[in-house]
Structure 1
Amino acid sequence: MPKTKLQDIFFTALMAFVMVYAMICYNISLEKSGLSNDVFLIAFHEIIIMWPIAFVLEFFLVGKLAKALAFKFVSPEDKPIFILLAISSMIVCLMCPIMSLIATILFKHAGVQFIAVWLQTSVFNFPMALFWQIFFAGPLVRWIFNSSLSLINKN
Structure 2
Amino acid sequence: MPKTKSQGVVFGLLMSYFMAYGMEVFNVAIKMGYGTDLSQMPNAVFLGALKEASYMGLFVFLFSSLWGNRIGAHFMHRHKTENSYLNRLLRQAGTVGIMCPTMSMVAAILFNLLMGGAPFSQIIAIWIGTVLKNFPIAFFWNMYGAAPLTHRVFQKIYA
Given the two structures, how large is their TM-score scaled by the length of structure 2?
Answer: 0.88
Counterpart CA distance in 2 for 1:147 and 1:139 is 12
Instruction: Find the counterpart in structure 2 of residue 19 from structure 1.
Output: 19
Structure 2 residue 140 is matched with structure 1 residue 127: no
- SS at 2:78 equivalent: coil
Count the aligned residue pairs.
148
| Structure 1 gap segments, 5+ residues each | 151-155
- What is the CA–CA distance in structure 2 between the aligned matches of 1:145 and 1:132, rounded to whole Å? 18
- Opposite residue 108 of structure 1, the aligned amino acid is N
User: 2:125 matched to which residue of 1?
Assistant: 116
Residue 153 of structure 1 corresponds to which residue in structure 2? none
% same residue? 32
What runs of 5+ residues in structure 2 fail to find an aligned partner?
A: 35-40
Distance 1:118 1:59 in 2: 22
Q: C-alpha separation between the residues in 2 aligned to 1:131 and 1:31?
A: 20
Q: Confirm or deny: 8 A CA contact 2:76 2:88 kept in the other structure.
A: no
Corresponding residue of 2:152:
143
Amino acid at match of 2:62: V
Instruction: State the Cα RMSD in Å.
Output: 1.2
Structure 2 distance, partners of 1:70, 1:122, is 22
Give the drift of 1:113: 2.2
**Which residue in 2 is equivalent to 1:4?**
4
Distance (whole Å) between structure 2 residues aligned to residue 68 and residue 2 of structure 1: 18
Equivalent residue letter for 1:100: S
Mapped contact 1:66–1:87 kept (Cα < 8 A) = yes
TM-score relative to the length of structure 1: 0.90
- Is structure 2 residue 97 aligned with structure 1 residue 93? yes
Measure, in 2, the Cα distance between the counterparts of 1:46 and 1:70: 31
Q: Does 1:55 align with 2:61?
A: yes
Displacement of 1:45 after TM fit? 2.8
